[in-house]
Amino acid sequence: MLKIWSMKKEQQKAENAEGAAGGKKKKVTAAQLRVQKDLSELSLGNTMKTEFPDPDDILSFILYVEPDEGMYKDGKFSFTFNITPSFPHEPPKVQCREKIYHPNIDLEGKVCLNILREDWKPVLNLNAVIVGLQFLFLEPNASDPLNKEAAEDLRANREGFKRNVKISMSGGTVKGETFDDVRRPR
Amino acid sequence: MASAEVYPASEPARWKYLDNIRTRAGPLTNPDIFDGQVVAQNMENMKILVIGAGGLGCEILKNLALSGFKDIHVIDMDTIDISNLNRQFLFRQSDVGSFKAEVAARFVERRVKGVKITPYNCKIQDFDEDFYMQFQLVVCGLDSIEARRWINAMLVNMVDEEAVDSYKPLIDGGTEGFKGQARVIFPTVTSCIECQLDMHAPRAAVPLCTLASIPRQPEHCIEWAHVIAWDKEKPFPKLDNDDPEHITWLYQKALTRAQEFKISGVTYSLTQGVVKNIIPAIAATNSVIAAACCNEAFKIASNCAPCLGMPGENNYMMYSGNDSIYTYTFQHEKKDDCPVCGNLARELVIENPEWTLRELVDSFAVRPEAQLKKPSIRSESKTLYMQSPASLEEQTRPNLDKTLKELGLTDGQEIGVTDPAFATVSFKFKLKFKQAAA
């Protein structure tokens, strides 16, 4: 067992002329490198922003989404992103920080987006996720509900649903639930 | 009871032949590294990890325990299903529903005195580098390519060229019906599982048009019934693969179609197999492959004979029992562009340790080995400079005017460099500081 490593060491020594100074240096992990790559390729446009509470920890950050059209226009929504060391084999964990009225986001902030669960593939990147999140605000999807009441509302009466979204976004009460005020200051 | 008398507490008879091999040099032992005095002790101290306690795993655990390994750890997230019992011989009917790792560990501990088996009833992904670092050898008996790739990437990334202990040989066994393979991977030295990914050809999906118009095989007729006829006729609201009534419906449809095209061979059990995507697991194949894997483990641990995977030597043994018995052992070569073992840190010479980060960033544009115009740079624990997103750029911009030394970058430090212009690659560099004018 030892032999192969001594061979490898000699091979490296020959390549490096001399070994570097001792002390174990932490290596950049595959997940970190991938997240770094994904972040440098994000296209946030002017409706999204990121915030890194600790810039040295790029595996957790907050994404702000400010839709400029659709029923959720003029709102400001934030999502926590937590990325595990298994990324990209596992999707990032994403949660909405506000309590909002949305068919695909439940009252705890859990998000129902196919690529965050069953359809996640390692070839997908963070940009795909943020595009997906933005799309949820432009086109809430009643056929795949997490908040069943909101989905039912959207299906039954689109105009009524729109009004309820407006009420909820200003901190009002819809169907007995009080929501967070997510209007962004003008 | 009788066996307790035949083999007293220390059971010397059981280990007699093993010890003959472990203590005596033979024609294949390398006199430079073989020391018969210490092999048994070394093996007892060695921590070995087995991944998977299924068809292969049961065999592997039993073989390792009987090969003189004393400290075995096993990971499996699955529980025992009744259909496992025909070949996963460490499990009994009363164990159905219990964790495989747990039951297998206890069974082997009972039968082989003096061996300690530590079970982990969870996913391999639940553990981090520190966990895997404690083992000297990893043996995989998995049925999932995804899990193999994960552990492979983990072991390759753990390699620290300065620390011999960070190299963990990986022995991987796999079977599919009458075919199987055993291979040995020395992370970063030999080709890795990712390099060998094309050896696992996914089962070719039959084009839909073949199914719809010109079936040639009984499987085509079954797939047709499954994919096309079912959706058209919807005999039941939702297809349940375990419902005999549903399978019977598919079988009848497929049979009618097969007769129409004069194809023979459609049976109920074939229908079930195709629909549930079952590749029959064959106990004999598992035992052949597990034996080959454990043989390699024993050779690596004892140095009693050359193992697979030595540089420039064979590292891959394939076995086929489809037509008589055939094995072929060859050297699978490392891929230079392998995304796992091909992306190892390259050396980056820093001319002047007093450089600021800005000078380093700018230097990437002109370095022939990089040519990166908009590099973002991180070390393992520090975000040095990110070109985007905007908030991160702003937070890391002050770093640009600091010297590398101030940022804690020293000789041998590894950094990751990405650039949106190179969408598919990222770079890892190991900093090498040039000594100040000596």
State the helix-helix crossing angle for A148-156 and A158-169, rounded to 10 degrees: 130
Q: Characterise A136 by phi-psi region: left (phi > 0), alpha (psi -120 to 50), beta (else).
A: alpha
Q: Do B386 and A86 touch (CB under 8 A)?
A: no
Nearest to A20 among B164, B378, B412 (CB): B412
B413: nearest CA partner in chain A: A25
User: Does any domain span residue B107?
Assistant: yes
B43 to chain A, any CB pair closer than 8 A? The answer is: no
Mutate to test the interface with A, among B28, B138, B145, B157 (most CBs of A within 10 A): B157
A40: nearest CA partner in chain B: B388
Last residue within a domain, chosen from B275, B300, B319: B275
> Which residues from chain A sit within 8 angstroms of residue B410, using beta carbons?
25
Between CA A18 and CA B131 the distance in angstroms is: 31
B303 to chain A, any CB pair closer than 8 A? The answer is: yes
Mutate to test the interface with B, among A25, A86, A127 (most CBs of B within 10 A): A25
B8 token code pair: 């007293």
> Which residues from chain B sit within 8 angstroms of residue A26, using beta carbons?
379-381, 414
Q: What is the pTM of this model?
A: 0.63
Question: Are residues B309 and B379 part of one domain?
Answer: no
User: Does any domain span residue B127?
Assistant: yes
B167 to chain A, any CB pair closer than 8 A? The answer is: yes
Q: Find all residues with CB under 8 Å of B432, minimum gap 6, and list them.
A: A20, B347, B348, B349, B350, B411, B412
User: Does any domain span residue B165?
Assistant: yes
Of B58, B209, B304, B341, which is the active-site residue? B209
Across chain A, mean pLDDT equals: 85
Cis peptide before B353 (omega within 30 of 0): no
A58: nearest CA partner in chain B: B383
Structural domain boundaries in chain A:
29-178
- CATH for B417: 3.10.290.20
> Which residues from chain A sit within 8 angstroms of residue B384, using beta carbons?
none
- From residue B258, alpha-carbon distances to B41, B93, B254 in Å are 63, 39, 6
Question: Are residues B307 and B324 part of one domain?
Answer: yes
Q: Do B426 and A33 touch (CB under 8 A)?
A: yes
Question: Are residues B160 and B91 part of one domain?
Answer: yes
- CATH for B320: 3.40.50.720
Examine the predicted complex and report whether its ipTM is higher than 0.85: no
Question: Are residues B286 and B236 part of one domain?
Answer: no
Is residue B395 classed exposed, middle or buried when 0-12, 13-18 and 19+ CB atoms within 10 A define those classes?
middle
Chain A: give the shortest CA distance to residue B260, in Å.
38
Per-residue model confidence (pLDDT) at position B4 = 43
Per-residue model confidence (pLDDT) at position B206 = 66
Per-residue model confidence (pLDDT) at position B5 = 44
User: Does any domain span residue B426?
Assistant: yes
Per-residue model confidence (pLDDT) at position B414 = 86
pLDDT at A15 over 90: no
Is residue A93 classed exposed, middle or buried when 0-12, 13-18 and 19+ CB atoms within 10 A define those classes?
middle
Q: Do A40 and B125 touch (CB under 8 A)?
A: no
> Which residues from chain B sit within 8 angstroms of residue A90, using beta carbons?
125
B348 token code pair: 């980056």
Per-residue model confidence (pLDDT) at position A6 = 59
User: Does any domain span residue B339?
Assistant: no
Q: Which segments in chain B show pLDDT lower than 50?
A: 1-7, 437-438
Question: Are residues B148 and B59 part of one domain?
Answer: yes
Q: Which residues pair with A96 in a beta bridge?
A: A79
Domain count of the fold of chain B = 3
Q: How many CA atoms, within 13 angstroms, populate the side-chain half-sphere of residue A11?
A: 10
pLDDT at A9 over 70: no
> Which residues from chain A sit within 8 angstroms of residue B185, using beta carbons?
none
Per-residue model confidence (pLDDT) at position B3 = 45
Q: Domain A29-178 belongs to what topology?
A: Ubiquitin Conjugating Enzyme (3.10.110)
Question: Are residues B318 and B196 part of one domain?
Answer: yes
> Which residues from chain B sit within 8 angstroms of residue A129, using beta carbons?
none
Per-residue model confidence (pLDDT) at position B370 = 67
Last residue within a domain, chosen from B229, B251, B275: B275
State the helix-helix crossing angle for B283-302 and B55-66, rounded to 10 degrees: 40
Q: Are A44 and A29 in contact (CB under 8 A)?
A: no
User: Which sequence positions of A are flagged as catalytic?
Assistant: 112
A8: nearest CA partner in chain B: B189
Question: Are residues B217 and B146 part of one domain?
Answer: no
Between CA B270 and CA B218 the distance in angstroms is: 9
Question: Are residues B312 and B224 part of one domain?
Answer: no
> How confident is the model over A82-129, as pLDDT tens digits?
998 778 878 899 999 999 999 999 888 888 888 887 788 878 999 999
Is residue A100 classed exposed, middle or buried when 0-12, 13-18 and 19+ CB atoms within 10 A define those classes?
buried
Residues of A with CB under 8 A from a CB of B: 1-9, 12, 16, 19-30, 32-34, 36-37, 39-42, 44, 49-52, 55-56, 58, 85-86, 89-90
Per-residue model confidence (pLDDT) at position A5 = 58
Between CA B52 and CA B249 the distance in angstroms is: 36
Question: Are residues B163 and B91 part of one domain?
Answer: yes
User: Does any domain span residue B133?
Assistant: yes
- Which structural domain range is residue B34 located in? 12-201+281-330
Query: CA nearest A110: which of A88, A93, A122?
Result: A93
> Which residues from chain A sit within 8 angstroms of residue B376, using beta carbons?
36, 39-40
Per-residue model confidence (pLDDT) at position B46 = 95
